[in-house]
Amino acid sequence: MDIRPARTRLAPSPTGRFHLANARNALYSYLVARQTGGQFILRVEDTDQRRFVPGAEEVIVLSLEWLGLTPNESPFHGGQHGPYRQTERREIYQHYAKILIEKDSAYPCFCTPERLDQMRKEQEARKVDRVRYDGLCRRLDPENAARRVASGEKYVIRFKMPYEGTTTAHDHIRGNIVTENRYLDDYILMRSDGLPTYHLSAMVDDHEMKITHVLRSAEWLPTFPLHVQIIRAFGWDEPIWIHPSILLKPSGKGKMSKRDTAAAMKDGHSIFVDDLDGLGYTPEGVLNWIALMGWGVAEDDVMTLDEMIERFSIDNLTPSPAAINFQKLDHFNGTHIRLLTTEELARRVKPFLTNAGFDVDDDTLLKVTPLIRERLVTLDDSIPFAGFFFKGTVEPNPEDLIAKGLDARQSAEIARKAYDILASLPDMSHQTAEPPMREFVETSGLSANQVFGILRVAVTGQKVSPPLFESMEVIGKENVLERLQKARTLLESL
């Protein structure tokens, strides 16, 4: 493996939302940079002004920050190879387009949209293998073409693709990809508005920014031969090209559609990184999940970002499409939640509890956190599991207070006995409270489920809670007794 300090980049277009595939490219790029002591760069590809979405750039940066994949160079972090926004680099592309024309690898094309449309229709009628530009302007005398440009005529710049032979492009995951040039086109490099297309701008920027590894979506495979042709026309060194596997919807059939995305959201999941935070996912869980989509390590390998830096290798990436599996996300999220320290977990669940309207005091939260840790899949699970700790009173459903196989009167009697036992204790620590309550169960001939069920609903207000005696310890003797008293009154009124 090449161990020179790598320079890698994420080159998103601010045209939509920041999704898992972007995040995965960012992660792999970041890992390659970090493990070689290199740099990870964020470059914003905003030359398609019609598709520009205001605010998209900020979401990208915030998502990267949240994941912990902070770029070394970006429009926000600066750097020596900027500007990092393509619309701020127009002159650079114009300069390089001119060089390609001088090298006879590109030419201005004056064909109008109407003519191109007619050409396409004619070719389709002839049932050609592949509709491509017919080369009308490619055959123009260069001096004549230059005069027309100088006179202000509208034009685009096209790449001069060889008509014959083949292009071999090497992808690190897929090996050599050989394409017959007759299936390729004289692609447009510069639009008539003077802004470049991706084909030119990305190649120029990767060169100018000294990118060593280009990790990008497999959607670019069809134009991959064009890209290597452009680089060879300039006479530049090629980067290592890496096109990770395609991500498929959970069923494995096709890519995520708008409808799939909406369905996932309803289910508390999302493919958009800026949603995952609010849904209670942790960056650690999300990173672990996306790392394994296309990296051939054991499916359930639990890794932190530092461990990934240690272990990642572009040699282990697989080309097979990966289905997005939200159950795995839940699994990794729960696993990473359990790896957090109590203080850190408390810090992370606090905003969820506060936003749910609970008045959270840090002392109680620190006591509660170890009690709920094992049960959390997402951070917002803390609301049903732990919210009641922060309420002055609870409002149990009276029906829930009636133990299975008993009636309200018998249940009230148990609440009364439990009250008496607990009231006689010096404190409510679980070591103090649990033995006499268990003894009561034994002598009463009732089951633990019956007795502790009443106790649980009475003091927590709900049928499911963290471990009962530990919870009672946090709630405190006075509150426990008050709630038992209230439960008994409620039962007696039924």
Residues annotated catalytic, as ranges = 258
Q: For residue 42, report the phi and psi dihedrals to the nearest 5 degrees.
A: -105, 120
Round to whole Å and give the CA distance between 96 and 148. Answer: 20
Strand, helix or coil for residue 393: coil
Would you say the C-alpha torsion 373, 374, 380, 382 has a positive or negative sign?
Answer: negative
Q: How far is the CB of 473 from ligand GLU (least distance, A)?
A: 54
Q: Report the candidate in 261, 209, 168 with the shortest Cα–Cα distance to residue 11.
A: 209
> Of 215 and 305, which has the nearer Cβ to ligand GLU?
215
Which helix or strand (DSSP H or E) is residue 158 part of?
strand 156-159
> Of 15 and 325, which has the nearer Cβ to ligand GLU?
15
Q: How far is the CB of 168 from ligand GLU (least distance, A)?
A: 20
List residues near ligand GLU by CB under 6 A.
11-13, 45, 198, 202, 216-217
> Of 179 and 201, which has the nearer Cβ to ligand GLU?
201
Q: Report the candidate in 98, 383, 43 with the shortest Cα–Cα distance to residue 210.
A: 43
CB atoms within 10 A of CB 111: 17
> Of 48 and 330, which has the nearer Cβ to ligand GLU?
48
Q: How far is the CB of 209 from ligand GLU (least distance, A)?
A: 12
Round to whole Å and give the CA distance between 176 and 2. Answer: 19
Using CB positions, name the residue nearest to ligand GLU.
216
Q: How far is the CB of 133 from ligand GLU (least distance, A)?
A: 23
Query: How deeply is 48 buried, as exposed, middle or buried, from its count of CB atoms within 10 A (0-12, 13-18, 19+)?
Result: middle
Round to whole Å and give the CA distance between 485 and 46. Answer: 66
Q: How far is the CB of 69 from ligand GLU (least distance, A)?
A: 15
Q: Report the candidate in 426, 423, 451, 457 with the shortest Cα–Cα distance to residue 439.
A: 451
> Of 209 and 446, which has the nearer Cβ to ligand GLU?
209
Q: For residue 356, report the phi and psi dihedrals to the nearest 5 degrees.
A: -80, 0
Q: How far is the CB of 10 from ligand GLU (least distance, A)?
A: 7
Q: Residue 79, by phi and psi: left (phi above 0), alpha (psi -120 to 50) or beta?
A: left
Query: How deeply is 359 buried, as exposed, middle or buried, from its count of CB atoms within 10 A (0-12, 13-18, 19+)?
Result: exposed
Round to whole Å and give the CA distance between 108 and 67. Answer: 44
> Of 14 and 285, which has the nearer Cβ to ligand GLU?
14
